[in-house]
Amino acid sequence: MSILDIRVLGDPVLRRPTTAVIEVTDELRKLIADMFETMYAAEGIGLAAPQVGRNERVAVVDVEGSKFTLINPRIISTQGIRKEKAEEGCLSIPDIYGDVERQFTVTIRAIDENGNEYEATGSDLLGRCFQHEIDHLDGKLFIDYLSPLKRKAAMASWEKTKAKYPGHTRRVRTEVKGEHHRETEM
């Protein structure tokens, strides 16, 4: 398995719509395994294919041990009208956070890495993560939901941060130091 480079804000791949997966191949399973490894190395709870420069309609999620592979996911229902505002971050916009209002509970239909269709219902952080990852597959980012004022402030902050990511690339590596595993960015 490999840790992949993460594309950051400004890379056009994050704004491109993805292409539906026709067949779950070994090559796709390798991409999924690499995406899980990259997500864990970056200490995220989700990761979508465009974030690693790919255009397949695929994402991975692990919220408190509830692990999902999302191939061609779509939201099939939102239970009730309850919405909730909470702070979000994005592995492709490091160090920038903002409050986003989303459905509290969503049910998705997707295909897993074995090619089997399944449905899953997620509330709270899991529901939020499903929505955040499906947005990535449609070229949408959490900053798109911020008010003009908050978005302007977020972009001003990003202007200072983005120099850390030449070529719109965030390199996450797990480094072994003595007995400790440490995350480093290069």
**Catalytic site positions:** 133
- For residues 18 and 31, the answer to whether their CB atoms sit within 8 Å is no
> Which CB sits closer to ligand K1U, 40 or 114?
40
> Which CB sits closer to ligand K1U, 25 or 164?
164
Token readout for 145 is: 């939901």
- For residues 177 and 43, the answer to whether their CB atoms sit within 8 Å is no
> Which CB sits closer to Zn ion, 24 or 122?
122
d(CA 97, CA 143): 8
Residue type, 160: K
Token readout for 80 is: 């009730």
- For position 45 contacting Zn ion by CB under 5 A, the verdict is no
> Which CB sits closer to ligand K1U, 25 or 55?
55
Q: Which of 29, 32, 25 is nearest to 47 (CA)?
A: 32
- Within 10 A of 159 (CB to CB), how many other CB atoms are there? 9
Going residue by residue from 76 to 115, which x/- string records binding to ligand K1U, judged by CB under 6 A? ------------xxxxx-----------------------
User: In angstroms, what is the minimal distance from the CB of 4 to ligand K1U?
Assistant: 13
User: In angstroms, what is the minimal distance from the CB of 119 to ligand K1U?
Assistant: 20
Figure out which of the listed residues 48, 58, 108, 137 binds ligand K1U, where binding follows CB under 6 A. Answer: 48
φ/ψ of 32, rounded to 5, equals -60, -45
The residues of the shown chain that bind ligand K1U, judged by CB under 6 A, are 44-48, 88-92, 128-129, 132-133, 136
